[in-house]
Amino acid sequence: MDPYITEWLNLAVRWVHMITGVAWIGASFYFVWLENNLNRENPKEGLSGDLWAIHGGGIYHLEKYKLAPPKMPETLHWFKWEAYFTWITGVALLTIVFYSNADIYLVKPGSGIEPMTAVAIGVGSLIAGWFVYDFLCDSPLGKKPMLLGVVLFAALVAAAWALSLVFSGRGAYIHVGAIIGTIMVGNVFRIIMPAQRGLVKAIEENREPDPELPAKGLLRSRHNNYLTLPVLFIMISNHFPSTYGNEYNWAILAGLSVISVLVRHYFNTRHGSQKYAWTIPTAALGLVCLAFVSAPTKTSSVPMAVESNGHNHGVVEVSEFVQVKSIIMERCTVCHSQSPTHPAFATAPAGVMLDTPQQMQNEVTRIVAQTVTTNIMPLGNLTQMTPEEREA
Ligand code: HEC
């Protein structure tokens, strides 16, 4: 497809994905907050609690029923389309960005995997992810939520590791995110919605609702709640090459997920007690430690070369620069140019143009970050840059 059209398609779908994602997660956070802040002292007959709030210049009074009101209201608002649309637009985006240019974005450079095979692995991972998750929840493990949580976490880390063997860093990250997103929307579609429909139907027919379904729904919506923060990080991880570009990118992702689950746990429990207040400083410390242990090792000579360039080393400087310039011309400007010759790009990716010596100089820091401290560029190593050239 024409890369210009792809870019606008990407724009439109990504925008909708963000909007529906914000609506989904916003509603989810809001209802958890409601639940945690209900005033449960002396509730009115049939209520489990109520709550007063002020927002947007108006005062609201909300009441939560123990089960249901004596008479069902005419309009009952459901929350599902934001979840479904987040998933639909997410899969569309995955296709537009990663699957339509699998050779560039998805395949791990040097792995020798065919682009179509990579796409099949990607799609397969989403489907398998849901079935493995659903199976584990319905197994006897489902009765032990803590143990189940640990097993699910280990399974996701294993998936991240396995995907990192065949996919580029960002390809692996986005698929872990998509697996989690699929699990979350699967929970809404297959478990939570049917449970709610069962509840409403039982009330309308004056029956006792089956207690099994809501209990299952509660476990799944707990999972969704803890999964939001890791998935949100993955969605912005594209901006952080030190994470997905690291050799142990799957371990960094695991570390960040543990940190985010700790934070989420504090916010889920702080209304009852401050027992988990320690998780916040621990998470902050964990973030610092993670940044420290995953820092790039400074053995490369390139940053030195850049420095010596800045220090006026006359002849050496010029000859070094000539060499670097020809490497960049050969390996980078097919894409990073005012008029890229690579068919997938209509304009210079990320606005980075490397046509002139001045432009190259201006981008030194970013070039080092993308090409030397990590192997992210050239994307998919399509232009087959050698380790010696990176050194230079
Ligand atoms: C096959 C095309 C392609 C080649 C070849 C390529 N790049 Fe890129 N580059 C991209 C794309 C696409 C992006 C935008 C990445 C994104 O989506 O964030 C990018 C982004 C960048 C960025 C900006 C990253 C940021 O956001 O800070 C830098 C710097 C960069 N490339 C440097 C290089 C260098 C240096 C080379 C050559 C060694 C190179 N690229 C080769 C496609 C390419």
* pLDDT per residue as tens digits for the range 111-160: 889 999 999 999 999 999 999 999 999 999 989 999 999 999 999 999 99
At residue 298, the pLDDT reads 63
The pLDDT, as a whole number, for residue 309 is 44
Most confident of 91-105, 266-280, 317-331, 373-387: 91-105
The protein residue with its alpha carbon nearest to ligand 1, atom 31, reads 377
Dihedral of the CA atoms 274, 279, 281, 282 (nearest 10)?
A: 150
**Cα–Cα distance measured from residue 66 to residue 209, given in angstroms and rounded to the nearest whole number:** 13
- 367 CB near ligand 1 (under 6 Å): yes
- Regarding the beta carbon of 352 and ligand 1, being less than 6 Å apart is answered yes
Ligand 1 neighbourhood includes 331 CB (under 6 angstroms): yes
Q: Is 107 in the pocket of ligand 1 (CB under 6 A)?
A: no
In this prediction, residue 374 has a pLDDT band, given cuts at 50, 70 and 90, of confident
C-alpha distance from residue 54 to each of 27, 30, 141, 300 (Å): 17, 14, 42, 57
Query: Rounded distance, CA 94 to CA 178, Å?
Result: 8
* 351: pLDDT strictly greater than 90: no
What is the distance, to the nearest Å, from the Cα of residue 227 to the centroid of all Cα atoms in its chain?
10
Query: Which one of 168, 236, 370 would you pick to mutate in the ligand 1 pocket, going by the greatest count of ligand atoms within 8 A of its CB?
Result: 370
Contact 51, 41 (CB under 8 A): no
Mean pLDDT over 321-349 rounds to 91
Distance 332 CA to ligand 1 centre (A): 8
Could you tell me the CA-to-CA distances from 356 to 143, 305, 308, 333, 340 in Å, in that order? 64, 19, 20, 10, 14
Q: Is 97 in the pocket of ligand 1 (CB under 6 A)?
A: no
Cα–Cα dist 121/108, whole Å: 13
End-to-end Cα separation, the chain, in angstroms: 36
Give me the chain's average pLDDT, please. Answer: 90
Residue 307 pLDDT greater than 50, yes or no: no
Residue 3 has pLDDT above 80, yes or no: yes
Q: What is the Å distance from ligand 1's center to 84 Cα?
A: 33
What is the rounded average pLDDT of the residues 84-106?
95
304 pLDDT higher than 60: no
d(CA 372, CA 101): 24
pLDDT of residue 21 exceeding 60, the answer is yes
Planar angle of CA 195, 197, 200, nearest 5 degrees:
110
Say if ligand 1 is within 6 A of residue 11 CB. no
